[in-house]
């Protein structure tokens, strides 16, 4: 979907303390060989922080940076991967009240690690009919007795905690959204389900994404060459987004991909596009872990604060998520915001 009237007015993040890979190995959470093989060297750990409060803090930063009143928000979309609070409760009303947004429509979506990009897609569709101001939030805290962030996130993943926010408008900002696309590949759905029951009243069942993925690969229920099939669809939405933005892969300044092992980033996105790993955000992502639905915004915020993006730079966002869904978006930096670093 080519986008003509959507801009990023600001971004905000909430980041907890970082536990290094060395510390995790010393505490017995992680294996030294895994650290070496994957290149993943740490994770952000939020302890007992409530995800919705994390999201409020990230959104407040985005609003403050843009000089926008919460009451001027016309739409709120919240994304998450893990539980947000009590069962049979929705986070949206809490976010609106805590932020003082008034009574705009608010939606909570569960699109996994692609949550922010799918929220961007929804907001862009809304703006095509009624231009306005949209606040996108995402938050996840994976601290839980049923999930091991160091071993349970799937092959090539260490999972971290964070919250992020984007403030969108149809007037102008530090970046223009050029395109956004997604697709769902149903034959890969079982990769994140494994042999888990579709419904179980049992509480506290351990979550092991590694075991699910391994079962899927060896069960005979997958398509031939599951990884190649996933990459094929990832590249399909990437090239569609690049074409709609009117640029080639060589014109992309930075690629923001799901935070995972270096060999995965290289094989799934950088090498197929003919781009070196130096144009990815992996050197940053490897130190904080896979942040659920916040990877892309946290990486974008980091590059801006570090002064590594400037006017005219094209940024590609891409990633896959349970479903199996793939998403991609292209941004063009139009100006360096006051809160960003200088080169």
Residue 44 near residue 24 (C-beta atoms within 8 A):
no
96 has a pLDDT exceeding 80: yes
Domain with 148 in it: what CATH number? 3.40.47.10
Same-domain status, 21 and 147:
yes
Instruction: Kindly report the average pLDDT of the chain as a whole number.
Output: 93
Which range is most confident: 25-39, 144-158, 253-267? Answer: 253-267
Q: Is 209 in the same domain as 262?
A: yes
166 vs 171: CA distance, rounded Å = 15
List phi, psi (to 5°) of 182: -150, 165
340 belongs to a structural domain: no
Overall number of domains in the chain = 2
User: Are 148 and 18 in a shared domain?
Assistant: yes
Residues 208 and 119 in one domain: no
342 is a domain residue = no
Residue 2 placed within a domain: no
Last residue of a domain, one of 139, 173, 207: 173
| 167 shares its domain with 198 | no
Q: Which of 125, 151, 173 is the last residue of a domain?
A: 173
Same domain, 245 and 162: no
Domain boundaries, position 60: 7-173
Q: In the predicted model, what is the mean pLDDT of residues 166-173?
A: 96
86 and 203 both lie in a single domain: no
Strand partners, 17: 45
The per-residue pLDDT for 225 is 76
Please check whether residue 284 lies inside any domain of the structure: yes
The closest alpha carbon to 177, from 223, 126, 227, 212, belongs to 126
Confidence of residue 2 (pLDDT cuts 50, 70, 90): very high
* Rounded average pLDDT over 160-169: 98
Q: Are residues 73 and 153 in the same domain?
A: yes
Q: What is the pLDDT, as a whole number, of residue 201?
A: 79
Given a contact cutoff of 8 angstroms between Cβ atoms, the answer to whether 57 and 82 are in contact is no
What confidence score (pLDDT) does residue 30 get? 86
339, part of any domain = no
pLDDT at 107 over 70: yes
* 106 plus 228 within the same structural domain: no
Residue 71 has pLDDT above 80, yes or no: yes
- pLDDT of 341 above 90: no
Does residue 101 sit in the same domain as residue 164?
yes
Beta carbons of 194 and 213 less than 8 angstroms apart:
yes
Span 176-226, pLDDT tens digits: 999 999 999 999 999 899 889 898 877 678 889 988 888 888 887 666 678
Residue 113 lies in a domain: yes
- Tokens in use for 274? 């003919």
The terminus-to-terminus CA distance of the chain in angstroms comes to 32
Q: What is the pLDDT of residue 275?
A: 98
Q: Of 121, 140, 173, which closes a domain?
A: 173
Same domain, yes or no, for 187 and 314?
yes
Has residue 172 got a pLDDT over 80?
yes
More confident site: 330 or 208: 330
> What CA–CA distance (Å, rounded) separates 251 from 32?
37
Same domain, 183 and 159: no
Q: Kindly report the pTM of this predicted structure.
A: 0.95
């Amino acid at each position: 979907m080519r986008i003509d009237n959507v801009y990023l007015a600001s971004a905000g993040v909430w980041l907890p303390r970082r536990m290094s890979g060395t510390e995790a190995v010393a505490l017995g959470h992680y294996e030294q060989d895994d650290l070496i093989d994957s290149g993943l060297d740490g994770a952000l750990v939020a302890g007992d922080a409530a995800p919705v409060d994390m999201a409020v803090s990230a959104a407040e930063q985005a609003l403050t940076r843009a000089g926008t009143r919460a009451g001027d928000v016309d739409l709120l979309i919240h994304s998450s991967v893990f539980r947000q609070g009590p069962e049979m409760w929705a986070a949206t009303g809490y976010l609106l009240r805590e932020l003082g947004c008034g009574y705009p429509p608010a939606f909570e979506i569960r699109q996994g690690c692609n949550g922010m990009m799918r929220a961007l897609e929804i907001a862009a569709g809304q703006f095509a009919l009624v231009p306005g101001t949209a606040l996108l939030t995402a938050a996840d805290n994976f601290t839980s007795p049923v999930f091991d962030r160091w071993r349970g996130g799937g092959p090539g993943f260490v999972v971290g905690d964070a919250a992020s926010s984007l403030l969108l408008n149809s007037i102008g900002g530090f970046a223009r959204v050029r395109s956004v696309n997604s697709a769902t590949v149903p034959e890969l759905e079982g990769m994140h389900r494994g042999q888990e029951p579709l419904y179980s009243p049992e509480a506290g069942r351990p979550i092991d994404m590694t075991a699910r993925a391994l079962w899927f690969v060896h069960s005979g229920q997958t398509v031939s060459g599951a990884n190649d099939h996933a990459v094929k669809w990832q590249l399909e939405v990437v090239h569609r987004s690049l074409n709609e933005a009117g640029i080639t892969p060589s014109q992309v300044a930075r690629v923001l991909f799901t935070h995972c092992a270096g060999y995965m980033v290289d094989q799934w996105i950088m090498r197929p596009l003919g781009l070196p790993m130096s144009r990815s955000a992996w050197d940053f992502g490897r130190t904080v872990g896979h942040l659920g639905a916040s990877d892309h915004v946290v990486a974008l915020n980091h590059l801006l604060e570090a002064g590594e993006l400037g006017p005219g730079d094209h940024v590609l966002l891409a990633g896959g998520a349970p479903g199996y869904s793939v998403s991609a978006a292209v941004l063009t930096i139009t100006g360096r915001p006051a809160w960003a670093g200088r080169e």
